[in-house]
């Protein structure tokens, strides 16, 4: 698509065009805007995912592929099934049926902690900071493959002290980047709502994920922090991570998403670039049908 | 009114054998409840596993003493697995319901007439503690005096003028073993809760879904905490049985577990020394009130028509309860707790 070049230059990144966004936009440039459309290099490939709560079908997604290295927004009115779909993909809920492959591995039978270890790490719509632990401990608990997390090894400090020191270094770098460095010894429960969102995202990065799933990362965050959250999400793409995030605000989606998938009443009704989606009648109908005000664009 | 006697009794209890039983059981429960957030309301059942495992092993199965200890520990592990496997994947309250029921099942099984051949029924069991007291290094016949300490026919008396502490040589042996065990488990837990392993437990207490989303096998950690806390509970059960040289089913009533919660909250949950301090305070308070009221009645300081000797017991529990309420109002974090933690906005 020819307007992908424009989108790149409109970014507020200095001088050179960041490689991540260029690659993501190029990979999605020729993908037609249809629900379930195949991608060049999908990191996630889900088919026939269905979850019903009693008589209510919360999720019934026929097919979805998520392009590796791109930022994909998942939008849809309240109750569309976005959170439920996230829960299914990350092993926090079980589908009635459906299968999906994450990064070359069948993931629909994995437990939530196995999904995280496989490289798909999520955050929650209602932030889950570990409140009576320090910000630093919140970060350290995120690190993967810790020797000292075994019962016997935990008893023997020399076995894990070097790894712990390395994790602490890594945590400090991330806290610096997310502007939480001054809070490192505070309890996470002392942070503001927006800072907790930042902490949750920083903590997820301690696992070196390949795909980050953010459920409404911008909800309840003040405008100043919103901007910095946006920048952090763009940075993830530049580091080669894939991002799938839920968001209501089409302005935000326009600013950072390379691709948009739209859910309504549990189904994937359409996909496309942000421009295609905001011009799509079905999307506007879906939102207006739900008396939602986030689709004014 | 004999204040010297009241203080002596209270302080003797505050560091004595029974206090040590409660301190040990509370240390195990502190790992489960304080650090991991597991609502185990059946710590009495784990203590019963230890006590009955030892007694049945030695008396009924005719095993050597240490095999009896092994049987008690193994029973506690089996109980932890039985309770944990079906409940630890579910919401926290399921464990609470199942453990409180299991504790009653264990106690009622132990006192069932049909099984009295194996468990002694409501009379309990004796005759398993000889090997333990055969190891007692404190002589039963010694008599000497040294500064403020004196030994009279195996009974040690430490005279601090305002009060004195007196223990039989059997008490001394139980206390020696008990304090060594307390020290051992405090060191063990101290190492554990400062390790990444302990950090995962605290994370689970705060929000287990968050910890799961970070790639930790939450079920396995909860199970480990349940087993280890249960094993420490079984060790408390050994000490309980040995200190009295018998086991009684009704010592393992649910009240036992509730007192452990009182002790933990008193000392400060998720504080390493909380259970020990809490147990000492609990038993000091309990004995001080009972002995004080009894002395008051006996000396006439409390008129007979206000309070009779038979009413002392219930009143003491009322007063212990009242002091808990006052503590929760004025120091809700417990003696060793951090007030800052309670003011946090847990969203
Ligand atoms: N645990 C549950 N039990 C019953 N119904 C649920 C449950 N979770 C979600 N739902 C229902 O499923 C639908 C989709 O919810 P959700 O996935 O939270 O939507 P979204 O995140 O898009 O707002 C809603 O109608 C919601 O009420
Ligand atoms: Mg939602």
Which domains can be identified in chain A, with CATH numbers?
Answer: 14-127+240-296 (3.40.50.300)
**Whether the CB of A53 sits within 6 Å of ligand 1:** yes
Residue A14's pLDDT is 52
Beta strands in chain B (DSSP E): 125-126, 143-146, 149-152, 155-159, 164-167, 246-247
Mean pLDDT of B51-79: 97
Q: Quick one: which atom of ligand 1 is closest to the CA of A85? A: 17
Q: How far apart (Å, rounded) are the C-alpha atoms in residues A57 and A75?
A: 18
Q: Does A77 contact ligand 1 (Cβ within 6 A)? A: no
pLDDT digits (tens, 9 = 90+) for B247-288: 999 999 999 999 999 999 999 989 999 999 999 999 999 999
Among candidate residues B154, B151, B130, the one with its CA nearest the CA of residue B140? B154
The pLDDT value given to residue A8? 46
Among the ranges given (A10-24, A101-115, A203-217), the one the predictor scored with the smallest mean pLDDT: A10-24
Q: Which residue shows structure tokens 């707790």?
A: B337
- Concatenating the DSSP letter of every residue in A9-60 gives HHS---SSPPHHHHHHHHHHTT--S-TT---SSEEEEEEEEEEEETTEEEEE
Please give the average per-residue pLDDT across B287-296, as a whole number. 92
Q: What architecture does CATH give domain B3-135+166-342?
A: Orthogonal Bundle (1.10)
Cβ-based neighbours of A13, under 8 Å, separated by 6 or more? A21, A234
Q: Determine contact: B339 vs chain A, CB below 8 A.
A: no
Nearest beta carbon to residue B214 from set A111, A148, A207: A207
Query: Which pTM does this prediction carry?
Result: 0.91
The mean per-residue pLDDT over the stretch B313-333 comes to 89
Ligand 1 atom at shortest distance from the alpha carbon of A93: 1
Q: 3-state DSSP call for residue A71? A: strand
Per-residue pLDDT band at A288 (split at 50, 70, 90): low
Asked if B157 and B144 count as a contact pair (C-beta separation under 8 A), the reply is: no
A154 inside 8 A of chain B by CB: yes
d(CA B194, CA A160): 12
Nearest CA to A265 among A33, A37, A44, A51? Answer: A51
Strands A259-264 and A267-272: antiparallel
pLDDT in tens, A230-259: 999 999 999 999 999 998 888 889 889 999
Q: Would you state the pLDDT for residue B66? A: 97
Between these two residues, A275 and B28, which has the higher pLDDT value?
B28
Residues near A4 by Cβ (< 8 Å), separated by ≥ 6?
A: A25, A26, A28, A29
Spatial CB neighbours of B133, under 8 Å, sequence gap ≥ 6: B170, B173, B245
Q: Which of A81, A92, A262 to mutate to test the pocket of ligand 1 (most atoms within 8 A of CB)?
A: A81
Best A86, A123, A128, A220 member to test B by mutation, with max B CBs in 10 Å, is A128
Question: Is residue A293 predicted with pLDDT exceeding 80?
Answer: no
Share of chain B above pLDDT 90, in %: 74
Distances (CA, A) of B44 to A49, B37, B236, B263: 46, 18, 10, 14
Q: What one-character DSSP code corresponds to residue A293?
A: S
Task: Tell me which DSSP letter residue B122 carries.
Answer: G
ipTM value for the complex? 0.89
Q: For residue A9, what pLDDT is reported?
A: 47
Q: What whole-number distance in Å separates Cα of residue A14 and Cα of residue A6?
A: 15
Q: Where are the domains of chain B?
A: 3-135+166-342
Q: A73 pairs with which residues across the strands?
A: A245, A260
Res B336: pLDDT: 87
Q: Position of tokens 């299991």?
A: B102
A149 to chain B, any CB pair closer than 8 A? The answer is: yes
Pocket test for ligand 1, best of A74, A84, A87, A287 (most atoms within 8 A of CB): A84
- Three-state secondary-structure class, residue B151: strand
Residue with tokens 């889950």: A128
Expressed in angstroms and rounded, the spacing between residue A193 Cα and the centre of ligand 2 is 17
* Mean pLDDT of all residues belonging to chain B: 93
Q: How confident is the model at residue B346 (pLDDT cuts 50, 70, 90)?
A: low
**pLDDT exceeding 90 applies to what percent of chain A?**
70
Q: Is the pLDDT of residue A290 over 60?
A: no
* pLDDT tens digits along A178-196: 999 999 999 999 999 899 9
């Amino acid at each position: 698509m020819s307007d992908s070049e424009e989108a790149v230059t409109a970014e507020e990144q200095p001088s050179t065009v960041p490689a991540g966004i260029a690659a993501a936009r190029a990979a999605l440039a020729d993908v037609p805007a249809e629900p379930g459309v195949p991608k060049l290099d999908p990191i996630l490939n889900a088919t026939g995912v269905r979850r019903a709560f009693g008589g209510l079908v919360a999720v019934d997604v026929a097919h979805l592929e998520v392009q590796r290295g791109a930022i994909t927004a998942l939008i849809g009115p309240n109750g569309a099934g976005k959170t439920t779909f996230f829960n299914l993909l990350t092993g926090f809920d079980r589908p009635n049926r459906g299968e999906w492959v994450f990064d070359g591995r069948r993931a629909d039978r994995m437990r939530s902690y196995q999904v995280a270890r496989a490289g798909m790490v999520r955050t929650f719509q209602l932030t889950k900071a570990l409140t009576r632990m320090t910000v630093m401990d919140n970060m350290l608990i995120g690190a993967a493959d810790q020797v000292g997390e075994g019962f016997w090894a935990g008893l023997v400090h020399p076995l894990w002290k070097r790894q712990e020191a390395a994790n602490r270094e890594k945590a400090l770098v991330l806290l610096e980047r997310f502007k939480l460095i001054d809070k490192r010894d505070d309890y996470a429960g002392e942070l503001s709502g927006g800072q907790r969102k930042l902490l949750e995202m920083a903590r997820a990065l301690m696992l070196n994920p390949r795909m980050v799933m953010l459920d409404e990362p911008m909800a309840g965050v003040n405008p100043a922090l919103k901007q910095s959250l946006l920048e952090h999400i763009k940075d993830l793409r530049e580091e080669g991570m894939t991002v799938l995030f839920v968001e209501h605000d089409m302005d935000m989606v326009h600013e950072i998403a390379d691709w948009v998938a739209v859910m309504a009443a549990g189904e994937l009704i359409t996909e496309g670039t942000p421009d295609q989606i905001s011009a799509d009648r079905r999307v506007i109908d879906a939102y207006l049908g739900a008396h939602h005000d986030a689709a004014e664009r | 009114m004999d204040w010297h006697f009241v203080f002596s009794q209270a302080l003797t209890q505050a560091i004595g054998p029974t206090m040590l039983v409660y301190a040990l059981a509370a240390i195990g429960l502190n790992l489960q409840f304080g650090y991991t957030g597991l609502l185990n309301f059946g710590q009495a059942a784990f203590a019963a596993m230890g006590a009955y495992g030892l007694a049945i092993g030695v008396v009924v199965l005719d095993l050597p003493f240490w095999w009896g200890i092994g049987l008690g520990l193994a029973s506690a592990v089996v109980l932890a697995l039985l309770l944990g496997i079906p409940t630890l994947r579910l919401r926290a309250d399921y464990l609470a319901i199942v453990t409180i029921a299991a504790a009653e099942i264990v106690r009622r099984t132990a006192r069932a007439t049909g099984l009295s051949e194996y468990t002694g029924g409501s009379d309990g069991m004796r005759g398993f503690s000889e090997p333990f007291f055969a190891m007692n290094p404190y002589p039963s016949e010694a008599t000497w005096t040294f500064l403020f300490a004196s030994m009279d026919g195996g009974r040690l008396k430490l005279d601090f003028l305002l009060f004195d502490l007196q223990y039989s040589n059997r008490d001394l042996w139980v206390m020696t073993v008990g304090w060594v065990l307390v020290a051992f488990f405090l060191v063990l837990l101290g190492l554990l809760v400062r390790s990444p392993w302990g950090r995962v437990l605290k994370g689970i207490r705060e929000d287990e879904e968050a910890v799961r989303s970070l790639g930790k096998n939450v079920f396995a950690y909860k199970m480990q905490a349940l087993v280890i806390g249960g094993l420490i509970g079984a060790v408390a059960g050994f000490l309980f049985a040995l200190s009295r040289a018998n086991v009684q089913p009704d010592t393992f009533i649910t009240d036992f577990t509730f007192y452990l919660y009182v002790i933990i909250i008193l000392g400060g949950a998720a504080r390493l020394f909380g259970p020990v301090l809490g147990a000492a305070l609990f038993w000091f308070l309990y004995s001080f009130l009972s002995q004080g009221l009894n002395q008051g009645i006996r000396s006439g300081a409390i008129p007979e028509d206000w309070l009779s000797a038979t009413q002392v017991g219930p009143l003491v529990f009322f007063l212990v309860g009242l002091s808990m309420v006052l503590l929760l109002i004025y120091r809700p974090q417990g003696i060793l707790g951090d007030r800052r933690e309670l003011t946090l906005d847990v969203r």
